[in-house]
Amino acid sequence: MKTLIFAALLVAASPALAGASNFTLVNGAGGPLGNLSIRRVGTNDWKPLSQGAGGAVQFSDPDCAFDLQATLPDGRVVVWSGVNLCDAKVVTLNRSASGDLWVDYH
């Protein structure tokens, strides 16, 4: 019985596992974004995001850090690197007129 109680306390005291989950993606880049895709940081395995830049993203992954890639209207490809998707409910992809990229989290 003591072993069972100890095991239950150990599980209850364990930290929750982090990971990325569903989020809303907002296009704050100042123009349309095409061919939006995602990969884990440090990999080359880009996966398309079918809903495009704007809307709910059904997503689940044990990692937190991702890169998001999109094609601008003039055909240039841009990458928002190191986007933290853990605990993010809304992710806004931003681009300034000079081309600087950043992400806002809400």
Q: What is the pLDDT of residues 29-64, one digit of tens each?
A: 999 999 999 999 999 999 998 666 668 888 888 999
* Residue 28, domain extent: 19-105
- Say if 6 falls within a structural domain: no
How far is the C-alpha of 12 from the C-alpha of 6, rounded, in Å?
10
- Say if 8 falls within a structural domain: no
How far is the C-alpha of 76 from the C-alpha of 43, rounded, in Å?
21
Per-residue confidence band for 21, with pLDDT thresholds at 50, 70 and 90 = confident
Q: How much is the pLDDT for 100? A: 96
Question: Which residue matches tokens 């999109």?
Answer: 70
- Say if 11 falls within a structural domain: no
- Say if 54 falls within a structural domain: yes
Query: Looking at residue 63, which CATH number applies to its domain?
Result: 2.60.40.2890
Mean pLDDT check: name the lowest of 18-27, 29-38, 86-95: 18-27
Domain count, the chain: 1
Q: How much is the pLDDT for 18? A: 62
Token pair belonging to 83: 């986007």
How far is the C-alpha of 53 from the C-alpha of 65, rounded, in Å?
18
Q: Residue 24 in contact with residue 57, Cβ under 8 Å? A: yes
Q: How much is the pLDDT for 77? A: 96
Pairing relationship of beta strands 23-28 and 90-95 according to DSSP bridges: parallel
How far is the C-alpha of 14 from the C-alpha of 73, rounded, in Å?
47
How far is the C-alpha of 17 from the C-alpha of 33, rounded, in Å?
32
- Say if 81 falls within a structural domain: yes
- pLDDT of residue 13 exceeding 70, the answer is no
Q: Residue 38 in contact with residue 49, Cβ under 8 Å? A: yes
